[in-house]
Amino acid sequence: MRHPYCRKQRASAHAPAQRTKMAAPTEADLAPARVAVGTLLDNLGLSAYLYAVEPREGRWAVIVECATESGWLLAGPELLAATRGDTDAQAALLAEWRTRLAACKTD
């Protein structure tokens, strides 16, 4: 309970943490984001895949489906920070996708 003369309210231990504000992705950013994701997926050498890029939580979310021996595998959504030319972020995402999409058919 808060004391009636206290003006400041303490944050509860169970209260959600404050998020830093990010600029929301715009339609103008969609094309470069799709190109970046397509380039990364091409580098994996997958034989058949589909992907979607959509705004989520102030960044781009990527959902990937790829063909496997027994059907299709769904991976994602991944929050994509690698669209701005950050080579370290691109390499980290590519390494993560290599392991998560290992069951996918390749060329």
pLDDT in tens, 36-88: 889 889 989 999 999 998 888 777 888 899 999 999 988 877 766 665 667 88
- Domain membership flag for residue 61: yes
Read off the pLDDT of residues 3-24 as tens digits, 9 standing for 90 and up: 455 554 444 445 554 444 556 6
Residue 79 is assigned to a structural domain of this protein:
yes
Task: Tell me if 53 sits within 8 A of 83, measured CB to CB.
Answer: no
SS3 10: coil
Tell me whether residue 28 is in a domain.
no
**Any domain includes 6:** no
Question: For residue 41, is it within any domain?
Answer: no
Q: Is the pTM of this model over 0.85?
A: no
**Token digits of residue 18:** 């404050």
